[in-house]
Amino acid sequence: MAVLDQLIELTADGVVYSSIIVLGSIGLSLIYSIAGFANFAHGDTMTVGAYSTLVFFGILGGTSISVLGLPLSFFLALLSGIAVTAVVALVTERFVYKPLDIGSIGLLITSIGVAFVYRALIQIQFSADSRRYDIDRLRPIEWLLQYNIRMTEHDIAIIASAIVLVVGLHLLLQHTDLGRKMRATADNPSLARASGIRVRRIELWTWIIGAGLAGAGGAFLGLFNQLVPRMGFNLLLVIFAAVILGGIGSVYGAMLGAFLIGMVVQLTPILTSIGIPIGSEYARALAFLIMVVVLLVRPQGIAGEAVGGGG
């Protein structure tokens, strides 16, 4: 029975954590499929989102009206943070990645440099100390506690916002002109160009959407834990694991992979309880091993469409 209680408790945490990973993974997968390289700066893009939200929230201050324990101004700051992250990504794309002519591996290496620059600038401005949003921490919601679920209203807000963003992206991809063009471009850039799609414009939109989602993920990560300059870099590999598990280039695969990897990371303590001697300190290691196994056994991931193009 104790194991079941623990399972419920960890699952609740896992759902929140997975929501954050989902937001990071979608962006990474989108950029991977359209820009054609593994963007190692994606984790630090999330950090940019977290810190710009921090700055805007500091400017706006708290408001009396709050939704789910979060002042309304936080959501405003979040939107501004998302916008800043998208702009940062666009500027980087325009002035760093675009002028390069060195293939996907060169872009990959360049993105590491970009990641370092983001992180260094944030650390110079905000120091390496951890920070929090100026929002009171909440106690778990009472009526959920009777089911052994420990969730705060903030956790609910993270999950709800992630769902809104994911559903929004789904509608965008399936039911708008831009979405169709994005899917076409990801599928086959040359064909898309030949059929009159302005591929360059689609690329820019992909960066905006991918970085924006990452920014939101970073802001929620700051709410879930705290803000440190390394937060995004530390999450990067978990996100890669999620994207690879789901299948690179597939947005829906990334969502599923992110959910599974997030759960694995958060549910690892259960292994000790049921007698498998792998402690929670190896949660991340477990995620990476799953990633390597997936690469070996099923490199196209769960959502396995045919692999091709990509890099």
Instruction: Write the binding mask 124 to 143 for another protein: x where contact by CB under 8 A, - elsewhere.
Output: x--xx---------------
Read off the amino acid at residue 283: A
* 172 alpha-carbon distance from chain centroid: 18
Dist CA 220 CA 155 (whole Å): 9
How near is the Cβ of 120 to another protein at its closest, in Å? 4
Say whether residue 241 binds another protein (CB under 8 A).
Answer: yes
Rounded distance between C-alpha atoms, residue 87 and residue 310, angstroms: 25
Size of site (CB under 8 A) for another protein: 45
Q: What is the dihedral of CA 71, 74, 75, 79, to 10 degrees?
A: 170
Does position 90 interact with another protein (CB under 8 A)? The reply is no
Contacts of 71 (CB under 8 A, 6+ apart): 62, 63, 64, 65, 135
- Cβ 43 vs Cβ 232: under 8 Å: yes
In whole angstroms, how close is the CB of 245 to another protein at the nearest point? 12
Is 91 among the residues that bind another protein (CB under 8 A)? Answer: no
Of 19-27, 46-54, 152-160, 295-303, the window that binds another protein (rule: CB under 8 A) is 295-303
- Is there binding between residue 114 and another protein (CB under 8 A)? yes
Nearest C-alpha neighbor of 307 from the set 256, 255, 249, 246 = 249
Which range of residues in 50-58, 71-79, 214-222, 293-301 is near another protein by CB under 8 A? 293-301
Under the binding rule (CB under 8 A), the answer on residue 42 touching another protein is no
Which residue of 295, 304, 305, 309 would you call a contact of another protein, by CB under 8 A? 295
Based on the shown chain and the rule CB under 8 A, indicate whether residue 115 belongs to the binding site for another protein.
yes
Residue 45 makes contact with another protein by CB under 8 A: no
Give DSSP secondary structure letters for 255-305. HHHHHHHHHHHHHTHHHHHTT----GGGHHHHHHHHHHHHHHH-TT-TT--
> Is residue 216 close enough to count as binding another protein by CB under 8 A?
no
Cβ closer to another protein: 181 or 284?
Answer: 284
Does the protein bind another protein through residue 292 (CB under 8 A)?
yes
Binding mask 250-289 for another protein (x = CB under 8 A): -----------------------------x-xx-xx--xx
Residue 304 touching another protein (CB under 8 A)? no
Residue numbers of the site for another protein (CB under 8 A)?
37-38, 96, 99-100, 102, 104-106, 108-110, 112-121, 123-124, 127-128, 229, 237, 240-241, 244, 279, 281-282, 284-285, 288-289, 291-293, 295-296, 299, 311
